[in-house]
Amino acid sequence: MTVFIMISLSVVLSTLILSATCTLRTDQQFWKDLAKNELEEALRVKWNLKPAKNVILMIGDGMGPNTITATRIFAGGESHRLAYEMFPHMGLLKTYSADKIVPDSACTATALFSGVKSNKDTVGVDASVKRGDCLRSLVPETRLPSLAAKAMEMGKSAGFVTTMRVTHATPSPLYAHSADRSWECDANMREGTEQCKDIARQLVEDEPGKNLQVIMGGGRTLMVSSDELPENQWTCVRKDGKNLIEDYKKDKESRGLKYSVVSSKSELENVRFNETDYLMGIFASSHLSYEYQKNGTDSPTLPEMVEAAIKVLQKNDKGYFLMIEGGNIDMAHHRGRAKLAIDEAVVFEQAVKKAMSLTSEEDTLLIVTSDHTHTLNINGYPDRGSNIFGIAEASDYDGVNYTTLSYSNGGPESFQFNVTVDNQNRTVVMRRDPSLEDTDSFDYHQVAGIRVIENMHGGGDVNIYARGPHAHLFHNVHEQNYVYHAIMYASAYSAGYCAHPSVVLIATIILGIFIGLLFY
């Protein structure tokens, strides 16, 4: 009997605990405790004025503020905070380009990596180069050095990891100078551009690309000539007979460098990092697949690639620069699949956590940001605690339900309006009722207001979060190209930037001792 009573009490207690944890708190003390914890956290923040030995710049492609909010709610609820949202310093970046209010990834990456805003769809060149102007892009003064190039000038290591093609818009400004982001391989080079190299060749044949110690992503058809047909209008397939992966190997062997070239997760896991100073991983014909599709495949995850990259780069005692891109956030948004985009943003946060676990705030400046927004909206007054991918409410106008998440514009799959003509010859526009579909599916396309070829970018500001040396330099609303200059200062990459206060103090002490000895 006693045992029965104890079991019953345990069941009741468990039920009460479960009920308490499932109930959303709204009492006064809950809000006061949240605010108190945040205040105590703010009071503990101190500036780290040491030089940044290492810099990791992480870009969630297309990860605008609404994407982050939706990811936060999906990951842990409205009061949750993502790992990078607990960084001590943050600001906003204005993403407009030299010629457009709404930018693309090539010009925004150029701004982030090179400190100068450029025209939409151009790579690593200034705004005097218009899209497609091959000859102008060859003028030395127009070609912008990147943070990777500057790091290597200082004897540091540099590299990048992406879930996109290694020649795609975000990584390419680290090493290439091109009047057109689509010139990823020779097949996309039009007549009259023979003097310009495609982006893939610049990666393998030119500086600084050939000296990058980590190159990981997709894009095998751009590196090795193939008879494959392009997957879509944005993909390039090499046709000139070159095998740039073999050329990469020959270059490293001719210089006596220790390198590894891998093409799968299992090969990456078997890399001997103590014998590898240069690592190239090309894991897909084009972009890497979405993370939810990788179960049971031999494709590495973004966190796994991040860990491998840091293992290679951290061997340099002088430090390193690493760019990490979660590009499939953007790809999913372009397809109008909000849950898929947010799932990719969750994986991106896992990559942030991996970078955090492998580095120290004392010597590593870790920055998390985005290149641009998308037109994702959160609307409809849904209840707190409800499914972020679910139904918000019914429209007061037509009585048809709509989802919490929607897009301003989108491709055919997202344009869920049916247009018909009634008996009086009037045009009738009706939306599909999303409650009749599985809105919680990775394949579901949220409704879009304006039909276009595919969901387009937004022109809003993006968040930037930072921890580590000189993270406080990110503190208000900044121009996007400011990021380059702040990193340059924090890392002392250039003599053209003011010395760090700590360096000035040490120099002053040494000078004082010298003068004292001189007059002793």
Q: What is the pLDDT of residues 196-234, one digit of tens each?
A: 999 999 999 999 999 999 999 999 999 999 888 777 777
Q: What share of the chain is helix, strand, coil (3-state, %, to 5)?
A: 35, 20, 45
Q: How buried is 177 (Cβ within 10 angstroms: 0-12 exposed, 13-18 middle, 19+ buried)? A: buried
Contacts of 107 (CB under 8 A, 6+ apart): 97, 98, 100, 117, 118, 119, 120, 121, 122
18-44 burial code (b ≥16 CB/10 A, e <16): eeeeeeeeeeeeeeeeeeeeeeeeeee
Active site residue 105: yes
Average pLDDT over residues 121-139: 98
Catalytic option among 79, 97, 105, 435: 105
CA distances from 237 to 174, 180, 203, 220 (A): 22, 16, 16, 9
The pLDDT of residue 440 is above 50: yes
Q: Which of 56, 255, 278, 280 is nearest to 151 (CA)?
A: 56
Bridge partner residues of 464 (DSSP): 91, 369
Q: How confident is the model at residue 14 (pLDDT cuts 50, 70, 90)?
A: very low
Q: What is the CATH number of domain 54-375+458-502?
A: 3.40.720.10
Domain segments of the chain as ranges: 54-375+458-502, 378-451
Query: Model-level pTM?
Result: 0.90
For 74-102, the pLDDT digits (tens) are 999 999 999 999 999 999 999 999 999 99
Position 8 scores a pLDDT of 46
For 483-492, the pLDDT digits (tens) are 999 999 999 8
CA distance 178 to 185: 11
Rg of the chain on CA atoms, in Å: 26
For 359-403, the pLDDT digits (tens) are 999 999 999 999 999 999 999 999 999 999 999 999 998 899 999
Position 382 scores a pLDDT of 96
For 168-205, the pLDDT digits (tens) are 999 999 999 999 999 999 999 999 999 999 999 999 99
